[in-house]
Amino acid sequence: MKCNDTRKTKTQIYNCYVMGPTGPTGPTGPASARINVGLTTTAQAGAEAQVYNSGTDNDIILNFVIPQGEMGSIGPTGPQGEQGIPGERGEKGPKGDKGEIGIPGIQGIQGIPGPQGPQGEQGLQGERGETGPQGIPGPQGPQGIQGLQGEKGDQGPVGLPGEKGERGDVGPKGERGEKGEPGPKGDPGVSIATLQAYGGKYNSLVTNIPAIVGAWIQIPIPFAMPSVNIKENGEEYALELEQDGIYEINYFVKISADKDTKITIIVRENGVNIPSSIIINNMIKDVEQTFSGSILASLKADDVIDMAFSITEENVTVDFGNEVTARLTIKKIDEAE
């Protein structure tokens, strides 16, 4: 038995306890998941804080969206400090001696102008020549007398119609032309029943995403459409393929932003941008815009297809409305070469 002296007052107090044997070791708990911290972004003041996992159940990547704190009230103005003592003004230096002004020279005498010469006489004006006499016009000949207008003659009687001629013989029937060659047979259309792989996902939830300049942000598409040979990949907001082939990819996004910015929408293959899918538009504050496109791509089994966007201005929040605002569909139309 051990006792501890815990004197705190004049009264003596003892705590005593008995040491028992060490108990058995408990069973090993389940393996813990690995947790990493991903992106931490700042939302506008008043927005809800968000935490979402962009990794897996065993490899968790937590992304935090923390709202900016509201600006505190302006504190009272502190007292004005005492005015400093002005410095003394330096003494003015002595003024230099003024030099003597020189005596101006005597002005010379102005010369006498010479006499003006006499003006020459004006020359005589030449005489104008005489105008020649106008010729006498010749006499005009007499106008001839107009002849009398003749009387209008009587209208002649209408002639009798001629007899109807006999109908001519019908000409021989022409030979029938040769039958034309049949046109080429059209390609059969592709129907859903014959597709080997197809599927899609979409978003209809109100979503607000704070964007980071220069970063590619995945577009959420949590709801699955009917699919064949497309793996379930709900956590990644993506479609994962099970077959190689030539695929037709159709995509659609309808969003708005709380600030003027330039936005780029892209389809990605395994996180790498597909160049033929790039769409760039200038966004006007709070004006909803629609982006849509359709491309063909040669893809492999296990490829992951998703959509992403990026912006060019700081502190922009991209808003997805309360209807279908994002959609990604894919279908295999041919075998890979």
**What is the average pLDDT across 314-328?**
93
Which residues, listed in sequence order, are joined to residue 320 by a DSSP beta bridge? Answer: 207, 255
Q: Where are the domains of the chain?
A: 31-68, 193-334
CA torsion 53-58-59-62 (nearest 10°) is 30
- pLDDT-derived band at 303 (thresholds 50, 70, 90) equals very high
Q: What is the mean pLDDT of the chain?
A: 77
Higher pLDDT, 125 or 259: 259
Pairing label, strands 34-43, 59-67: parallel
- Domain 193-334 fold is Jelly Rolls (2.60.120)
Could you read off the pLDDT of 242-261 as tens digits, one per residue? Answer: 999 999 999 999 999 999 99
Could you read off the pLDDT of 38-89 as tens digits, one per residue? Answer: 888 887 777 888 888 888 888 888 888 888 877 777 878 878 878 767 657 7
pLDDT at 99: 53
Q: What is the pTM of this model?
A: 0.44
Q: Is the dihedral of CA 131, 136, 137, 138 positive or negative?
A: negative
Could you read off the pLDDT of 166-178 as tens digits, one per residue? Answer: 665 655 766 766 7
**What is the token pair recorded at 37?**
């911290």
Pairing label, strands 230-231, 239-241: antiparallel
Looking at residue 228, the DSSP 8-state letter turns out to be B
pLDDT at 115: 67
**What is the average pLDDT across 230-234?**
73
Given the structure tokens 């029943």, which residue do they identify? 193
